[in-house]
């Protein structure tokens, strides 16, 4: 299955959350590919902690591949090449976790027919090899978004199941922007239909993930006064109404990732050790990620609307 990770704005936690979802799926035994189509600001190498391996990706990354300059994009086996001490011992019964990085310094580029064919070749080959393929897309209605919309409508791709995750933060501006990315005149739905997608089928394949959501019910400690807590609850309520009005209400939300302090400091994978041993990460964050990873392929969360 292909999973496209999109967001309207940067800083929504799209890359770090989808990398964590990829990690969680690999832990459950799936073979997982993480394809970095975030042309412009590739961050996956940092999240998976493979900076050393990236040096080899200078000129054989996904840009070079799509432009026809390299026949096979470089692949980084995360378990083997990560510099993260905990990840290096590949967990028992886990699946493969392979990163396909973009080229260092490669930006957005215009796509032509041949790049589209090569994109289709790549996605088909990955699909024959991996159980889940995460494709991290540049923010907004980028070339990357257009390319995968065209690729998934391509006749050769008819048999490939795909799903979209749209990441947004839990603020007014982000809610409106995320809705716009999907539903607006120049949004994913309209763009998909122009490229041959069925609108209802495409809509049914899109879910939202709210990231970095503060918990309004959190006990008011020394840092949160009761007045602040009441205000936050009211805010949360207003945001829910706003989201529903913008057609991204709870029924199309796949999951909510709570605000996680360590992710504010550093984009990284959240491991069980971070929660249990060192306790630097919150249990709720890990549970949320595990649950979203599970729901990705649970059809009851993808019923048609």
Options 55, 71, 221, 299; binder of another protein; rule CB under 8 A: 71
By beta-carbon proximity to another protein, the closer residue of 67 and 284 is: 67
Give which of 194, 127, 247, 168 is closest to 5, Cα–Cα: 168
Does residue 116 touch another protein according to CB under 8 A? no
Mask for 85-114, x = binds another protein (CB under 8 A): --------x-x-------------------
Options 67, 77, 267, 284; binder of another protein; rule CB under 8 A: 77
Q: How far is the CB of 124 from another protein (least distance, A)?
A: 6
Mask for 128-147, x = binds another protein (CB under 8 A): xxxx----------------
Options 41, 52, 56, 72; binder of another protein; rule CB under 8 A: 72
By beta-carbon proximity to another protein, the closer residue of 30 and 136 is: 30
Does residue 117 touch another protein according to CB under 8 A? yes
Name residues contacting another protein, limited to 143-202 (CB under 8 A). Answer: 156-160
Residue 36, beta-bridge partner list: 136
- Return the ∠ at Cα 40 (arms to 257 and 132), rounded to 5°: 50
Mask for 29-48, x = binds another protein (CB under 8 A): x-x-----------------
Residues that bind another protein (CB under 8 A): 29, 31, 59, 71-72, 77, 93, 95, 117, 121, 124-125, 127-131, 156-160
């Amino acid at each position: 299955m292909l999973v496209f990770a999109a967001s309207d704005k940067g800083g929504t936690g799209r890359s770090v959350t989808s990398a964590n979802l990829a990690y969680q799926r690999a832990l459950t035994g799936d073979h997982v590919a993480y394809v970095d189509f975030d042309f412009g600001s590739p961050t996956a190498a940092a999240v998976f902690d493979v900076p050393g391996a990236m040096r080899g990706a200078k000129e054989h990354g996904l840009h070079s591949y799509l432009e026809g300059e390299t026949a096979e994009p470089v692949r980084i086996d995360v378990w083997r090449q990560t510099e993260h001490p905990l990840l290096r011992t590949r967990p028992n019964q886990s699946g493969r976790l392979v990163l396909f990085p973009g080229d260092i310094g490669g930006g957005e580029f215009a796509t032509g027919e041949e790049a589209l064919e090569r994109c289709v070749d790549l996605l088909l080959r990955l699909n024959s090899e991996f159980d889940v393929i995460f494709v991290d897309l540049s923010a907004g209605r980028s070339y990357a978004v257009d390319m995968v919309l065209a690729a998934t409508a391509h006749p050769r791709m008819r048999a490939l199941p795909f799903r979209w995750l749209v990441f947004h933060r839990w603020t007014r501006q982000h809610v409106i922007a995320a809705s716009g990315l999907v539903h607006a005149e120049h949004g994913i739905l309209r763009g998909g239909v122009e490229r041959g997608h069925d609108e209802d089928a495409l809509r049914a394949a899109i879910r939202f993930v709210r990231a970095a959501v503060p918990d309004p019910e959190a006990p008011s400690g020394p840092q949160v006064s009761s007045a602040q807590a009441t205000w936050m609850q009211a805010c949360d309520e207003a945001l829910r109404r706003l989201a529903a009005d913008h057609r991204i209400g709870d029924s199309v939300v796949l999951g909510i990732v709570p605000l996680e302090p360590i992710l504010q400091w550093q984009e990284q994978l959240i491991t069980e050790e971070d929660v249990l041993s060192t306790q630097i990460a919150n249990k709720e964050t890990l549970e949320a990620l595990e649950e979203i990873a599970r729901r990705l392929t649970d059809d009851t969360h993808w019923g048609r609307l």
